[in-house]
Amino acid sequence: MTHILVTGGAGFIGSAVTTALLGAGYDVSVLDSFHPAAHSTPPKVPTGVALLHRADLRDRAAVQGALRGVDAVVHQAALVGLGAGPDDMPEYVGCNDLGTAVLLTAMAASGIRRLVLASSMVVYGEGAYRCGRHGSVRPAPRDPADLTGGRFEPPCPRCGDALTSELVDEDSPVDPRSVYAATKVAQEHLCAVWAREHGAAVAALRYHNVYGPGMPRDTLYSGVAALFRSALEQGQAPQVYEDGGQLRDFVHVGDVAAANVAALDAGPGFRAYNVASGRPTTVGAMAGALADAFGGPAPQVTGRFRLGDVRHVVAAPDRAAAELGFRATVAPATGLREFASAPLRG
């Protein structure tokens, strides 16, 4: 296995993955559509790439051509984030699910049987919770009336008591709560079927909140770290939704790239892995650390909310450590200091 195709290899995470693969001695080609949601200006493809295929994954002939001479695929291409609203649904499903189906079909025809899939922690919906009276429970979808009233913590669905957030592992049930999340679940299901039917190996990497140099600026499709960083660059206070107490795991893009390299050696069949720092923090604390490193202004807690967001989701990273030999090395405090002055992409 020497030649890897990276789909979405000109994007934020994809370019970091491409660079890491090149550094590990692989020959790397890139397929990227330069989708305007990810690239408001022409992207720079990492130096050393063997071939660049500018094409849409839904173009079967172009994908088949890009797979010539390829031994494995690292599939990063996707439309990410919550987007603008319900009107985005066809584009999300087309880019993420139809594109993945075309890729898998072309891989089967080309005899390629190894795939690393960029999945996401959004497949879990809410994370894991425990009630003092009822043990492990799954909260119901968040009630807009509760959110409007500032009641952000999900109650026990059986007794209404307060819950304790716990680590979510890869065996937790999927429960997508946005269009984007639903498309990531569908990607995983398509890949699992393909792996079974073709005796292939698929490692689905469930990224938690990725941040780092080269993040796209604030758009409807940006992650929260990029939104905060863009606000600071413009001299504005980061706008923290809800009360800032949402628990997340912020993982550096360099660690995510390293996880992709490690996942090329995953065993046969379909297997999911959390990719996280293992050092959770609240969104409010992250915004404060980023603002301090940047030199202000301090974040503003707004009380606003987005119905597609979840309250807490924090990962157990043990499976990736045990089976892939991967453990994140960049502490969020260190990575956020670097990110505070790192360039963003247009």
What distance lies between CA 168 and its chain's CA centroid?
Answer: 16
| Cβ neighbours of residue 47 closer than 8 Å, sequence gap 6 or more | none
The residue type found at 206 is R
User: Could you give the residue ranges of the DSSP H alpha helices within the chain?
Assistant: 12-23, 60-66, 89-92, 99-110, 144-148, 179-198, 224-233, 253-263, 283-294, 318-324, 332-339
Which residue type does 128 have? A
State which H helix or E strand residue 3 sits in. strand 3-7
Angle between helix 332-339 and 283-294 (nearest 10): 50
Using CA atoms, how far apart are residues 308 and 164, in angstroms rounded to an integer?
Answer: 21
**Which residue in 198, 203, 206, 314 sits closest to 266, CA to CA?**
203
The number of CA neighbours under 13 Å toward the Cβ of 55 is: 22
Task: Let me know if 92 is a catalytic residue.
Answer: no
**Residues whose CB falls within 8 Å of the CB of residue 171, separated by 6 or more in sequence, listed in order:** none
Q: 172 near 124, Cβ under 8 Å? A: yes
d(C-alpha 240, C-alpha 74), whole Å: 33
From 180, 207, 221, 273, the catalytic residue = 180
What amino acid positions are annotated as catalytic residues? 180
